Amino acid sequence: MFALSEVLIRAAAGPEAGQAMIKFNGIVLPRWVDWKGRFGGLVKSVSIGNAVGILPGTGAATAAFISYAEARRSARTRENFGKGEPDGIIASEAANNSVTGGALVPTMALGIPGDAITAVMLATLTLHGITPGVRLMADNPVLMGAIFSGFFFINLLLLPLGLLFGKIAAPLLRLPETLMLVMIVF
């Protein structure tokens, strides 16, 4: 249901709105030299994302804006922000991606979803008769161990699977948008 609103917005805009051809040659990882001097900003952005994620209902957009503003404030190259500066992209994306880990804290400990992803997870747990809250770890230690082990394993597989399936899935971007919207709804 999350994708349905975007499908309706794109369908209302008409077929000519999104017809830019996208070229994709696979995932290109930056060289190690390009990471020099950027690890501090990355760690700071991940910390901001986790902290914002712990606050119930804030979400990834809030973390991305705060992290971007902090990266811009503390950067030596402020004038390049807004023009594709890698430090700005790293800051907003790192915070955006680390929110869900922090959002698990209020979801599991208090039963209050931290963002949309953990709201779905909370609903799934509730449907299976598992009540999130202060007794969750004590009442369901095997399940919680399996969930956290699964999260760890999935994170290890993200990069290799992304590299593998990125090239395979790229031709889907060449489909007409109207056909793609119909496929998403189905």
Question: Is the pLDDT at 21 greater than 60, yes or no?
Answer: no
pLDDT band at 170 (very low <50, low <70, confident <90, very high): confident
Q: How far apart are CA 38 and CA 124, in angstroms?
A: 38
Are both 88 and 160 inside the same structural domain? no
What is the pLDDT averaged over residues 125-130? 90
pLDDT at 52: 92
Q: Where are the beta strands (DSSP E) in the chain?
A: none
Are both 65 and 92 inside the same structural domain? yes
What is the pLDDT averaged over residues 156-175? 83
Assess if residue 8 is contained within a domain.
no
Are both 130 and 145 inside the same structural domain? no
pLDDT averaged over every residue in the chain? 84
Structural domain range at position 81: 36-134
Are both 44 and 129 inside the same structural domain? yes
Q: How far apart are CA 169 and CA 182, in angstroms?
A: 17
Are both 145 and 104 inside the same structural domain? no
Assess if residue 21 is contained within a domain.
no
What is the pLDDT averaged over residues 142-156? 90
Are both 67 and 89 inside the same structural domain? yes
Q: How far apart are CA 141 and CA 13, in angstroms?
A: 49
Q: How far apart are CA 52 and CA 47, in angstroms?
A: 9
Are both 113 and 175 inside the same structural domain? no
